[in-house]
Amino acid sequence: MAEQWWHRAELGRFLDAALVRPVPRDHTESDDAFRRRRWVAAVTAAAGSVLLWASFRLEPGDRRFYLTTVALALVWVVGSLASGPLHLGWANTRRGHRLARPVVQSLALGVLAVGLFTAGALIVARLPMLRNSVNDVLDHARFGSLPVVAAITLINGLAEELFFRGALFAAIGRRHPVAISTALYTLTTVFSLNLMLVVAAAVLGVVVGLQRRVTGGVLGPMITHVTWSLSMLLILPPLITALT
């Protein structure tokens, strides 16, 4: 009983440090810089949505898929860098007496997200509509080059966080940035016309959005995102196959 309480307390301290208690910082910028950031973010989001739609209209194995998704990553990165200064961010430690770069903490959050989505996949695999939606995404890895798809998954995960939890998050301002950035991130994935991608974006968006609010930067969300996305790329195909 005492051991269970200790584990719950440890988990509580971890989640408080990672997702609840913001680190101190001052990233205030001028009104002109803020307006410019908003314009750049809006144009980038529109261009990225079109490319995402185009990439998912291509058949698995089509080489144009690779080119389109690399172009999408470039749009996110260029738009982010053009929007204004971005920050890596700092993380609280569980004991609270110092700050650290959010590396180990973000890896742990990524692993927790993998566990959550893997548990969800056990249900999804038994529902044909949802299973087909997942397979539509995974087919790009099954019928294409897995190393290339993995590299693109890594690059796009980093680029998405640079934009959505970097440039776009900063462009929203101080009122409800987690909710708004998650909603816009989810809305962007609607252009993929894939239900499970939309659901995944909503869930992951909340996690990395809270992480961005706490750390004040993009490093933590980047690590969490790619830990989750690469793990899902490797875990889901054999899991879905085994359960169907």
User: For residue 183, what pLDDT is reported?
Assistant: 96
**pLDDT value for 97:** 66
Q: Which residues contact 240 (CB under 8 A, 6 or more apart)?
A: 121, 124, 125, 131, 134, 135, 138
pLDDT computed for residue 57 by the predictor: 85
Structural domain boundaries in the chain: 26-85+102-243
CA dist 26 → 119, 161, 186 (Å): 39, 21, 28
**CB of 136 within 8 A of CB of 65?**
no
pLDDT, tens digit, 9 for 90 and up, residues 118-164: 988 888 878 778 788 887 777 777 777 788 889 999 999 999 999 99
Which bin fits 25, alpha (ψ -120 to 50), beta or left (φ > 0)? beta
- Whether the per-residue pLDDT at 69 is higher than 80: the answer is yes
Is pLDDT of 8 > 80?
A: no
pLDDT of amino acid 103: 94
- Supply the pTM of this predicted model: 0.92
Q: Are the CB atoms for 161 and 228 separated by under 8 Å? A: no
- To 10 degrees, what angle do helices 146-162 and 63-83 make? 20
pLDDT for res 162: 97
pLDDT of residue 6: 47
Q: Is the alpha carbon torsion for 72, 43, 158, 107 positive or negative? A: negative
In whole angstroms, give the CA distance from residue 152 to residue 156. 6
Copy the structure tokens of residue 218: 């993009």
> Over the chain, what is the mean pLDDT?
88
Residue 5: what pLDDT?
A: 54
Query: Which pLDDT tens digit goes with each residue over 93-115?
Result: 766 667 889 999 999 999 999 99
pLDDT band at 7 (very low <50, low <70, confident <90, very high): low
Q: Has residue 215 got a pLDDT over 70?
A: yes
